[in-house]
Structure formats: C-alpha cells, structure tokens
Structure 1
C-alpha cells in the first residue's frame, strides 16, 4: 500500500511536527517527549491528560482544546505511550490540583499509564484515572472491566474536559467522568483492513464479500466474521446489541455518534445514522445530539462504529458546556475559536532517526568478542556485548514478529521490539568500561521501558530491569546469579501483568525458561542456556493451544487457538541470543 510518508520510523515524529506547526496558535509540543500541550489552559484546575497510540487521528491529539483535554501523550502507531512520555506530559500541565487521566482500556495503556501515575505520585502529585471501556463486543457485562475503548472516547473526554474546566475537585471530576464512561456503549464493524506504516501486509485480511463484526480500534479481530450485509441490516443488529447491554427505555435521551474508521465516507455514515434514528424513534428514545464523523480512526480501515451516550440531567450539564479544538467543537465558540495571537515562537528539537535504523529483516548478527570458546560466566563487558548482540538479533526479526502479531493482534509487536532494542543498544554503547554487571542489565531495561510504549515496553523492559534493580554491585555473573536474576524478573512481570502459564503471553515462554535455568545452573552457563532456549521454544509452541486471557487477542476467545503469541516468540529469541553469544 502506498502511504504518504518519508520513513516508517519517523511517522509519529513528523506527524506531530506538522500538526503542531499547523495549529501552533492552540498547541505547543513538549520539548522532550511526544506530548501535545494546550497553550492557554485554565489555571488552578484539575489537569486532564488523555493519550494512547498514534494512528487514530484526530484522537488523541485532536481532542486537546478549550473545554477538552489539557494535553495528550502520544505513543507510536497503535502502541501506548511509554511511562516517561505520560509522566512528562502530565507534569507539564499539572497546576497543583492533581491530574485526571482518560484513556482506552488496553493492556499496554493500563500498564504504562499506571507507571506514569506512580512516578507522579512519588513526587506528591495526586492522580486518578478513568479507563474507557465502551466496546460491548469485546467482553460480556460480567467482565466489563475487560472491555476495550473505541469511539466512546469522544463522549468521555468531552465530559471529563467540562468537569475539569468547571473547577471540580479531582475526586468529583473523576466521579462524573466514570459516570459518563459507564453510560457510553459502542460496537464496530470492519469492511477493509488497515496497514501500519512500514509494514508490508495489512494487519488482517478480509475476503471480497466478508466483514468483521465487533472489530476493535487497532484492527483486533471481532467476535464474528460474516458475509457482507446492507447498511440497514448491520445498523439494526448493532443497535440491538448495544440496547441489550443498556437499561435504555422509552423517554430516555441519548447522544449518538456514528464514527468512521478512516476510509468510510460521511455518505455511508449518514446512511447508517438514518437507520439508527429510525430505531430510536420506534423505541421512543430521544436523540439529544448526533454526530457523524471520523474521530477515532484506524489508519485507512474501512468500517464504522455506533456509540450511544445515555444522558441524565447531570451529564447533560457537562455535555452542553462549550468546547473547541480544530477537530471537535460544541456550544458557543466565541473566545475559544478565536485565533490567539502570540508573539513568541518556540523551536523544538527531537532526536532524528539514526542511520542504523532497521526497517526490514536483516541477516542474523555475527557474534564478535575477544574471548574464545564458550563462556563460563559473564563479566560486565560480556553482558554488555551480549545484550547488544541480542538487540541486533531481535531488530533483525522485526518483520517476523510483526507477522506473528498481525495474526491475532494489531501487528505492532515487531516494530515496538525493534524500537526498544535500538534504544537499549544505544544506551549500552555508552557503557563501555562499566564494572557492575547488574548496572548493564538495568540500563538496557530502562532504555526499553522508557521508549517502547505498549504492554511490551513495561514487560520486556522489566525482563532486564526488574531482576537487576537494587542488586548489590557485582563484577561477574555466575550461572546461579543469572538464574536468580531471571526468577526475580519473572516474579515482577507476573506481579505487574497478572499473567500465568496458559494465558497466551510471553510468560508461557519465560516461565519454563526460568525453570530450566534453575534446574541446569550446575551444568555450566552454556548448558543452562541451551536448556532455557529449548524450554522457551516449547513454550512458544504451547501458546498455539491456548485461548488468550490478555492483550488484544483476548476478545477472539477460541478463534485465537492455532496461533502463537508474539511476546513468547520474543522471549525465545532473547534466550537464543544469550546461548549463541555464550557459545561464541
């Protein structure tokens, strides 16, 4: 697919540069991270910070504005922002009254925003969050906390922005926002796939006469693949499923959003709304306001979603408050839509993509080291060179990991891993001469954690970081030390992510690998790593048997069986890289 870009690695950077430049009278960019900041926010109020993966424009950056969000933390395409981006963006707009975060309920966003909040609270800044979970197709009502956020973000962010601008306390603004979230229900359908910049294949495939019912905003598979149906049939089925999930009755009032996923015209959205309005009239449910637009998109995905936002008098008060951004406005515009003239101009510098960026699979990296023969222990320099080798190895497998993830996820795992490993390598290259072996692992983990975004950033950053953190300085790592370190990392990953063996995650490969390390550490470093590599490989194979309990494959249920987990494959590659380096 032809995309109007320069280089896939620079899409988010260049998109934000253009966006901020075009709307500089409203926005400025955070000088250090991918955060969009409102220039003239109200002072002395709760700061509203939204965010998520890029590629959904105008959500999230386009919903920063008067009466809306004060800032947006922007991740890579279809990947959550990393904790540092979230922390720095929020800190830039916090004004002594605390920060309210609003974002979609996805594993990566949940993990990274949680860590961003922890960092803020460590500095005495009060925080709260509301996770949007409006997609009724993604989980049943008794598992509402597992539902993902799609176009319902629009109504929740609108309400949250009004509540914060009204001067409510953090506690009260959070209550109002949660009420809006709980009164918002959506469902979507896809008619054509999206394609991530720089990826050769679409994130899923549909036959000529097929549609995906219940499709997620990132291209996650829906609950049913079925034959194409006319607009009225689809609208009636979708409306019926939303209504079944709510307590809507005659006399109630709703706002309606028919949202395009990127490649759907207003003509088509209007045809869908025509049928939805007919059904609401039949049920004597009043439409308080309606909107047809492409607000929460998925690159050029074909299809649409329907959202109903049930109002009461309290919610109506906040919905009616005026707001303005270049892409979304309600109420009286007057001052908020007026061009703001400012004398100052700010220049922002961002790190440019280095020449060694990996845009496609390359040959396996060669092991290069001074010592001959298998290693029996790891010095700090050995560990540094080993992790650089692993970084090159994983980056060389970007397309392989992307293809695995595209089968049941959103196809961004390879891109995220390659980006995180690139940052880890850059940091490790600065550490030549380091004497503490744990410091090497810790630095690589931090570099991944702060750069990758998505669930992978937290999880794979912790794989290196958690086991080495707070360890007593040591110059040499024995097989027993490595086994203990990886056990500690596994415990931290499971504590944060809550995954167990059988949940179709990277834990399915990491757990047997750690057990193999412990069982074979008395046989020497090489034999121990051979056993761990083999166990991790079997763990990857085992994921094909499991129903996913986490991540974007979760809503597929039995349809995920037969596919391997991309995170588990990355774990196997890491242990394979360790073995290859130690063996020489």
Structure 2
C-alpha cells in the first residue's frame, strides 16, 4: 500500500502551516514570536526562571503541547525531525526571560545539543543566565555506563512538567536545574514499534518492518532497538517491557511510580488501555505502587505504530512538583486559575512566507577556467552549488534513509534554499568573504538539526573575521576551508573514521592545502577527488555520531549522507570554476 499523507502540494512549508493552524486555534493562550517557528504562553508568570523547550516537529503533541500554565513558557519548533536553529531558540528565550535565568529542556540528540549549546552562548553574550537539562530516558538506546548517549523520548513529558512547576515555585535557576535533573534521572522509557512513520516529502517510511514483526526499544525516528521479533500477544509485549523497566530502575515492592502509556502515532486508545491493564496486573502483583497513571498520545513520530511505557520513580520531594496544577490544550492537571488573557487584546494575524526562490541564472565572469574568484563569481558559484544540492535531495534522502531517518536531503535542500534567498539579494556586495558568511549564516539559522550547525559552519566559520577582499585565490580558499574544518571539529567533536561529513571534508582540506600552488582548478579537482574517496571510506566505518551510531556494525557498507553532501559541494565548486556546469 502506498504512503498516504494529508499535506499540501508544497511540503516545504508544512511546519509553518501546521504551527499556524495550532496557534490560530489556541490564540487566546499563545503568541507567535515574530517570523520564527516559536511561540510563548501569554500568561507566563513574571519574576521567575523561564522554561524554554523545543525540538524537531513531527512528534506532536511534543513539544508544542507542553507550553502553558505551570509548564513551559516558550517553545522553539524545528523542522520535521530536526532541531530548531540557534537563532530561533535564542528568540524564544528572549521573549520570556525575566532576568532570573532561562532553563532549556530538550531531547538528547546531536542536532539539539549543538543548536541549544550555540543558543546558550548567544543568550549569555546578551547577558542572560542559562542552563540546560537534556532528556535521556530511552534506556534501550545505550547502556547505563553511556547514559549521556541515551535518547530523549516520552519521558520529556514528566521532566517538562516538573521543571515547569519548579520554575513557577520561584526557585533559583540552580535549584530548578537540580529538581529537573532529579526528575530526569528518575525517569525511564521503553518503546515498541509495529510499523513506521513517514516524513513529509519522503516517498519511503522511516524504517522497514514486516507486517508480522515488531521491534523492542526502537527510537522515535526508526533508530534500532533491542530486538526484532515476530508479533506476540499484548500480555507478552508488556511483560518483556515491564521486566526491562524494573531491572533498569531497580524497582522493589513499596516503590511508587507515575506511569505514562504513550501511543507513538497510530495506536488506538483501545489498545493503549489494554497495555495499561496488562501492566497494572504485574505492578500490583509485585507490590509496586502506582502514584498516578495516564494513557494517551504524548510523543509520536507521525503515524508510527506501537507504544511506549514510561516510569517516573516518585519521592516526597518530587510529588509536590508533579501534583502542581498545569494547563495546556494537550496536558492539564488540577485547577489553574486564569489560564487565558484579556480577549480584548489586539490580535495580530499569524503569517508565514510561502514564496520560493526563482531558479538561478548562473553567470561567470569569463569563458573557460577561472584562475580566481571575484565577489560575483563566488556568489554565483554558491548559487550553483545550492541548486546542485537541491536537485540531489532525493539522492541524499535515499543515502540517509539507509542508516538514518531520511531527513538529510530535506534539511540540506531547505538550507540551500534559504542561502539562495540571501545570496540573490547580494548583487552589490564588495567583500567576497561576506558572500560565504551570509550563505553559511542562512543555513545555520534555517536548517536545524546537527546539519544546520555543521554545514552552516562549512561556509561561515572560515569566512568569519577575515579581512575584506574582492578576490579569492586558491590559497585563500584553502585557508578558509581549513578554518572551517577546525571549527566544525571543535563544535561537533567528530574525527576521521567517525562516519560523518568530516571523513570527506578533512581529506578535501588536505588536498586544498597540498595543491593550492597548482592553480584554482587543479586544487579543486584534487579536493573533489579526496572528498569522493572520503565518502567511499565511510562505508567501512561504524558511526560514532547521529542516529546511525546505534546501528554499530550494521552501518558498515553504507556511506554517510553528510560526507556525500560535502562531496557534492566540492564537485559543484569544481564544475563552476572549470566552466563545465550541468543543468540541475
């Protein structure tokens, strides 16, 4: 059966359109933050620590549904399955900062970590006090001795709930962090997938699984779990998951737990209620106490089939924060007075940009091989490279789908599209480094995910701070890309052999340095060849970063999508310099 999605023809605006629908329906509670995919709760308390949450879209009601009275003050929404960018996060924080500090709570994924870290740096540069708590409740994703590698899934709900209550109690930022970390560290989740979700714009699902199979411990994006088995009765599923939870948390008779049974997207309440029935029988029989229980859809991946079970081990300190009243359209506890604002307030229409860039007409300063790049040449070269990446979106999606979640092509194409919009406005620019800096900034601030920071830095980091010039030589380009590589490795930590874009970029940079004296074209040919070899080499490696890292040896034989993008970028630069451009 083919994939059926309720989408508009142009899926590139799906996040903006969806968020507009949500904020229009609930406009009495929320206000959008300028042109960003971010919003805040209008009645958020003053003179307290602000709580900002966020992550990739496509997991609704996480994160949009957990902003409100007693919950988060603001939400930063990334693209589908990709983290929000640093500018978006920073603007969300600025909108609710009360001078008491800002706490960021988000899932422990590479892209979220990179983007929220950079946002914190930007906030601190503006004089804000910040802290963060990363959710890592998915104990199936890594052993306990590597707890900081674990993913954040439905346990986000409990952590956000308690963090919001701690903020509203007027605690200091340090105390809010302590309470929130305690909640996080007392929370564990295990999931079970029966069918995949699908990302808007992708023709294939996030993973493949037979109709008669299921997988214990699978992540929200299709990351591999503990074990794939044949389908079994609900009682057997729950028994396995309960045993894993009890062992992980060292639960014993008399311990109290809050229980969250969460549907992953397409599992009906009839089945989720059955899951809790089977779960409660085991809890009751073994003398554990249920402090509270909830059954609903809290954290999803589109229409993924399956469910997760979350336990929060309670104690006397956590209970008051858990019990504190809260309200949002998707999550509420107790009674919260005055959750809305004066309806007489002037309302602004929520808008989003549906326009797209026009196809680029690429012009070179002369026929034949270019020996150096003028400002206009550099601009047109990056426009050509952007079109090349956009044209290769299906290919990059296919490469990423083999060992990732299939969103790399979408993210790269979207980032290049934003870069094109900025570059097309730079006809009168006189500083060639500003061309690269502007393109990189546009990518970094629009793509989200780890790719936004990394590929934005590919252009941005090397050009930033360089003395203005009107011409780039081969030596200038080699120096610029070396700076970018150093910045990327410092920011992300990846090294050769980690199965990342660095495996293509590092050898390309070495080739640039080695062949810079041979002229621009020969240097770029060498860099392109080195990047291509780097892509081939990634097939031999076990991934150390991103969602492919949980595949371990199963990632061998597949090339890295980020490295592939690096190769395409260098190929596009060489084609432009050589004058052998293809029709994208």
Query: Normalising by the residue count of structure 1, what TM-score does the alignment of the two structures yield?
Result: 0.96
Tell me, yes or no, if the aligned pair for 2:357 and 2:421 is still in contact at 8 Å: no
Q: Deviations over 1:443-471 (max 9, x none)?
A: 11011111111110000000000011111
How far apart are 1:351 and its partner, in Å? 4.2
How far apart are 1:367 and its partner, in Å? 5.7
Secondary structure of the 2:208 match is coil
Secondary structure of the 2:140 match is coil
Q: Which blocks of at least 5 consecutive residues in structure 1 are unaligned?
A: 359-364
Distance 2:521 2:98 in 1: 54
- Pick closer, same or farther for the CA change 1:367–1:579 going to 2, 3 Å: farther
Distance 1:357 1:188 in 2: 44
- In the alignment, is residue 93 of structure 1 matched against residue 88 of structure 2? no
> Hey, what does 2:557 align to over in structure 1?
562
Given candidates 8, 11, 28, the residue that maps to 2:11 is 8
- In the alignment, is residue 323 of structure 1 matched against residue 326 of structure 2? yes
- In the alignment, is residue 212 of structure 1 matched against residue 215 of structure 2? yes
Q: Deviations over 1:301-360 (max 9, x none)?
A: 111111110011001111011111111111234544xx65410232245442224489xx
Given candidates 98, 123, 126, the residue that maps to 2:126 is 123
Q: Deviations over 1:477-507 (max 9, x none)?
A: 1111111111110000000000011111111
Secondary structure of the 2:488 match is helix
Count of equivalent residues: 576
After TM superposition, the runs of 4+ consecutive aligned structure 1 residues lying more than 6 A away are none
Given candidates 529, 538, 545, the residue that maps to 2:540 is 545
- Pick closer, same or farther for the CA change 1:349–1:357 going to 2, 3 Å: farther
How far apart are 1:212 and its partner, in Å? 2.4
> Hey, what does 2:431 align to over in structure 1?
436
Distance 1:93 1:412 in 2: 31
Given candidates 527, 539, 542, the residue that maps to 2:522 is 527
Distance 1:95 1:562 in 2: 51
Given candidates 461, 479, 501, the residue that maps to 1:466 is 461
Tell me, yes or no, if the aligned pair for 2:20 and 2:350 is still in contact at 8 Å: no
Query: Normalising by the residue count of structure 2, what TM-score does the alignment of the two structures yield?
Result: 0.96
Distance 1:370 1:482 in 2: 18
Given candidates 568, 571, 575, the residue that maps to 2:566 is 571
What is the Cα-based RMSD across aligned positions, in Å?
Answer: 1.4
Q: Deviations over 1:100-119 (max 9, x none)?
A: 00000000000111111111
Tell me, yes or no, if the aligned pair for 1:235 and 1:272 is still in contact at 8 Å: yes
Given candidates 480, 489, 494, the residue that maps to 1:494 is 489
Q: Deviations over 1:199-228 (max 9, x none)?
A: 111121111212222111222232332222
Secondary structure of the 1:501 match is coil
- In the alignment, is residue 172 of structure 1 matched against residue 167 of structure 2? no
1:320-359 superposed matches below 5 A: 320-336=323-339, 340-348=341-349, 350-356=351-357
Distance 1:248 1:423 in 2: 50
Secondary structure of the 1:304 match is strand
- In the alignment, is residue 303 of structure 1 matched against residue 306 of structure 2? yes
Secondary structure of the 1:545 match is coil
Distance 1:89 1:233 in 2: 44
Tell me, yes or no, if the aligned pair for 1:31 and 1:348 is still in contact at 8 Å: no
Distance 2:336 2:422 in 1: 48
Distance 1:84 1:108 in 2: 14
Q: Deviations over 1:15-46 (max 9, x none)?
A: 11111111111111112211121011111011
> Hey, what does 2:272 align to over in structure 1?
269
> Hey, what does 1:69 align to over in structure 2?
72
Q: Which blocks of at least 5 consecutive residues in structure 2 are unaligned?
A: 580-584
Q: Deviations over 1:64-101 (max 9, x none)?
A: 01110001000111111011100001100111111000
